[in-house]
Amino acid sequence: DICERLPMSFCVSLDGITRETYESVRIGADFTTVMSNIEEFRSVSNSNGGSVSIAHCLMTENWREFLELLTFAEEREMSVGVNLVLDPRHLSLYQLPVDGLQEVVEALLAQDGDARRRLKRLLPVWDGQVQALAHRLETMRHDGGTPVNPSSPWRRDPDRTADLTRDTDLIAE
């Protein structure tokens, strides 16, 4: 009743666009219920000036569905915020070895033409994530293939093999 009387905004965590993926990430959650809630929130917010957005954790378990998730949101005029997953390490795209991250980047780049046809408002979200992962891959190659926590202010300085330096001390990465 309150949602129908006040302009409210809703943000729903949606970490998969298929039942199998969503329920494997969000243990104990029910995909059908969440999708139904999204549609109900959209109905309410459309009638009173509110909005519905998606918070998405892009990770090893769901990256193959990223374009489908963005397409789903695009078709419903919802925004999508993507969270950087660092821990647990086995779920983090940024903690993959070089060959694993290369597979992800190549697969996403192979979908790029399709993304450009399907996305308009959310194309910057797609581009931002693909570019960030491609940059991470190049950084790892430059650093000798060792995953380094990307949120850490410390990076290996290529001019000093054993030393660590702060990002602010590096001229260019």
Express each pLDDT in 59-80 by its tens digit: 999 999 999 999 999 999 999 9
pLDDT of residue 156: 45
Q: State the first-to-last Cα distance of the chain, in angstroms, to the nearest integer.
A: 53
Count of residues for the chain? 173
Residues near 159 by beta carbon (within 8 Å), at least 6 away in sequence = none
Q: CA distances (Å), 143 to each of 8, 27, 136, in order?
A: 46, 36, 10
pLDDT of residue 2: 76
Handedness of CA 88, 91, 97, 98 (dihedral sign): negative
Residues near 125 by beta carbon (within 8 Å), at least 6 away in sequence = 70, 80, 82, 119
User: Is 80 exceeded by the pLDDT of residue 27?
Assistant: yes
The arithmetic mean of pLDDT across residues 42-68, rounded, is: 93
The arithmetic mean of pLDDT across residues 14-21, rounded, is: 97
pLDDT of residue 81: 97
**pLDDT (tens digit, 9 = 90+) per residue, 96-143?**
999 999 999 999 999 999 999 999 999 999 999 999 999 999 999 988
Q: CA distances (Å), 129 to each of 22, 80, 145, in order?
A: 20, 12, 20
User: Is 70 exceeded by the pLDDT of residue 173?
Assistant: no
The arithmetic mean of pLDDT across residues 149-167, rounded, is: 44
